[in-house]
């Protein structure tokens, strides 16, 4: 389809809004785009927002491809219609609604709550912003059938989102996600959305649930005696203007830590994120102010959470007394190692425990679990798949910890999404555990590499915006799928896991094996030298992601930097050999 044909279709979609029951400000903006910015008009109306790994997410603004009260309203009404079908005999249907610090988050949350209430649902609406994992906890605590949190996680300030949860407290997965979209797509007129709320159906919740949630997190502590001996350990924490501002320091204190320093400028909740370019704890710049504070107070640990409080980035001191940032794989390995080691030491491993990681997360986690005879599961990218495994094994096996390379972790079963509030507390406890042995977390990480092998990973994001960008990304995936490389960096490709076709291709035996995981547009290449390359389009952002994982041997502590450099070069060489795609 050429641009002229596309523009004609887009204008037809935009005219529906101009003729419909939309506010005058919205109509004026559409008219302005039609007259002055056809490219923006196309991007705003060429499609409807769809559920990805994080639900509904997009740039705020006017149009079917934007986050606004109308797209939020249609998604909510579609969700309502689906919930009614699924729980027709349940009596009173209950839902919970939370929101983060982003611009328009409260507006979208109140809009959602009103629509729920107008559909005769009992609505539990948080009084003010709260971390995403507390929404998951609220669904389970109040016995809700569903829930919504308004957030775009770590995306830039222009974005917002609508994450839908199911009765188990996990994000919706297939078939519910697709069925909800189908219900929303049946709504062809905005007048079908019940925007007028019924106030008596909305209950405001707040401090009382905070207390129960944080008390539950406290039960995860394995080493209170060690914390007591190291309670003066210095911790610097920043919420990067987000929802962790109250609950993370509160939980750290409940665990017994007394020296908690914050960054005052970033304690202010603000959807414009004025002190950072991006509120993403994966990016070093987001932790810059916290690191300055850490140097000032000579801290042992630095932690930063994203705006909705479900992901955490950390920094620790190296042997030169310099703060270094750990990536998500490293932090996950430290958490898994601590939780399994501490349980083993205290005789709390009974043989029915398990951990979960995503397919793009380091195999180091599996190695650690294997040592302690703890079962491990691999799932697709997205914490909703971790929640699904927990649900399937509830009451049969004990879930210890789950993690993904993108800085999300979870312990225990009372929350069903990644939880930076509990993760901060457990990371601090792991730091105290190491310090009690005269070590830092940095030392502990090197110990892990000495025992299990030096796993090194890198993520490369390639951003492709708009409709043309989406088409470029799909072509890259098609090219890799239809004409895959036989060697990468002079190492033969042994296996290709195609999660879209749910097939593994063995390039040595030429046999094919079925993949039992849900279909997903992901390709994974396993090389003869043990390297792993995974490729997938992002489900929440206009980018394609390349995940690289290599492994080396670390035989003594003094060789750490040397082996790290060799592994870095190996990843550089792999990227160079994939030059036509990257």
- Cβ–Cβ < 8 Å for 535, 477: yes
Distance CA 376, CA 399 (A): 10
156's tokens: 């830039």
169's tokens: 């407290």
Cβ-based neighbours of 362, under 8 Å, separated by 6 or more: 329, 332, 333, 405, 455, 457, 549
Distance CA 422, CA 448 (A): 23
Indicate the DSSP class of residue 103.
T
Q: How far is CA 328 from CA 263, 282, 312, 332, 560, in A?
A: 22, 8, 8, 6, 19
Q: Tell me which H or E stretch contains 294.
A: helix 288-297
Q: In terms of DSSP bridges, do strands 202-205 and 301-305 run parallel, antiparallel, or are they unpaired?
A: unpaired
Count Cα neighbours of 285 within 13 Å in the Cβ-side half-sphere: 7
Q: Helix (H) and strand (E) counts for the chain?
A: 19, 23
Q: What are the backbone angles phi and psi of residue 437, rounded to the nearest 5°? A: -100, 10
Q: In terms of DSSP bridges, do strands 454-463 and 543-552 run parallel, antiparallel, or are they unpaired?
A: antiparallel
Indicate the DSSP class of residue 519.
P
Q: What are the backbone angles phi and psi of residue 94, rounded to the nearest 5°? A: -120, 140
Task: Find, among 179, 203, 92, 194, the residue nearest to 144 by Cα.
Answer: 92
Q: How far is CA 200 from CA 79, 109, 210, 513, in A?
A: 21, 17, 23, 55
| Residue of 105, 146, 153, 549 with catalytic role | 153
Cis bond upstream, residue 191 (ω within 30)? no
Residue whose tokens read 């995940």: 547
Q: How far is CA 314 from CA 154, 251, 439, 516, in A?
A: 15, 17, 17, 34
- Cβ–Cβ < 8 Å for 291, 303: no
153 is catalytic: yes
Task: Find, among 134, 135, 173, the residue nearest to 379 by Cα.
Answer: 173
451's tokens: 């025992």
Residues noted as catalytic: 153
């Amino acid at each position: 389809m050429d641009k002229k044909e596309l523009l004609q279709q887009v204008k037809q979609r935009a005219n529906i809004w101009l003729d419909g029951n939309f506010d005058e400000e919205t109509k004026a903006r559409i008219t302005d785009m039609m007259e002055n910015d056809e490219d923006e008009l196309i991007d705003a109306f060429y499609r409807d927002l769809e559920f990805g790994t994080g639900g509904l997410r997009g740039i705020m603004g006017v149009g079917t491809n934007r986050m606004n009260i109308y797209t939020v309203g249609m998604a909510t009404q579609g969700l309502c219609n689906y919930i009614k079908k699924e729980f027709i005999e349940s009596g009173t249907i209950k839902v919970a609604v939370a929101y983060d610090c982003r611009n328009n988050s409260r507006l979208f949350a109140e809009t959602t709550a009103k629509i729920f209430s107008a559909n005769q649902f009992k609505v539990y609406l948080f009084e003010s912003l709260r971390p995403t994992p507390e929404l998951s906890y609220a669904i389970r605590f109040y016995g809700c059938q569903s829930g919504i949190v308004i957030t775009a996680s770590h995306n830039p300030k222009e974005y917002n989102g609508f994450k839908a949860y199911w009765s188990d407290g996990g994000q919706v997965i297939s078939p519910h996600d697709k069925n909800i979209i189908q219900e929303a797509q049946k709504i062809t007129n905005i007048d079908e959305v019940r925007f007028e709320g019924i106030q008596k159906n909305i209950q405001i919740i707040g401090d009382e649930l905070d207390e129960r949630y944080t008390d539950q997190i406290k039960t995860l502590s394995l080493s209170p005696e060690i914390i007591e001996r190291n309670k003066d350990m210095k911790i610097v924490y920043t919420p990067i203007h987000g929802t962790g501002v109250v609950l993370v320091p509160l939980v750290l204190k409940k665990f017994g830590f007394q020296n908690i320093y914050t960054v005052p400028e970033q304690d202010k909740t603000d959807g414009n994120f004025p002190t950072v370019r991006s509120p993403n704890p994966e990016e070093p710049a987001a932790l810059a102010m916290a690191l300055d504070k850490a140097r000032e107070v000579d801290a042992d640990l630095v932690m930063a959470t994203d705006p909705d409080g479900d992901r955490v980035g950390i920094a620790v001191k190296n042997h030169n007394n310099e703060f270094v940032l750990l990536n998500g794989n490293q932090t996950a390995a430290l958490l898994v190692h601590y939780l399994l080691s501490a349980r083993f030491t205290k005789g709390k491993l009974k043989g029915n425990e398990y951990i979960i990681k995503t397919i793009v997360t380091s195999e180091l986690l599996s190695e650690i679990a294997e040592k302690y005879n703890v079962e491990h599961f691999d799932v697709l990218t997205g914490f909703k798949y971790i929640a699904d495994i927990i649900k399937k094994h509830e009451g049969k096996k004990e879930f210890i910890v789950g993690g993904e390379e993108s800085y999300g972790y979870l312990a225990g079963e009372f929350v069903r999404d990644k939880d930076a509030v509990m993760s901060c507390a457990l990371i601090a406890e792991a730091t105290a555990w190491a310090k009690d042995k005269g070590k830092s977390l940095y030392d502990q990480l090197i110990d892990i590499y000495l025992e299990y092998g030096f796993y090194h990973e890198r993520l490369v994001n390639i951003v492709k915006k708009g409709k043309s960008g989406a088409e470029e990304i799909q072509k890259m995936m098609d090219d890799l799928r239809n004409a895959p490389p036989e060697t990468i960096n002079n190492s033969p490709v042994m296996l290709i896991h195609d999660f879209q076709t749910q097939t593994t291709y063995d390039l040595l035996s030429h046999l094919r094996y079925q993949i039992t995981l849900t279909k997903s547009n992901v390709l994974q290449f396993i090389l003869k030298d043990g390297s792993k390359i995974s490729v997938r389009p992002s489900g929440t952002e206009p980018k394609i992601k390349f995940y690289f994982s290599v492994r080396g041997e670390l035989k003594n502590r003094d060789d750490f930097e040397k082996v790290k450099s060799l592994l870095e070069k190996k990843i550089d060489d792999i990227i160079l050999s994939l030059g036509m795609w990257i």
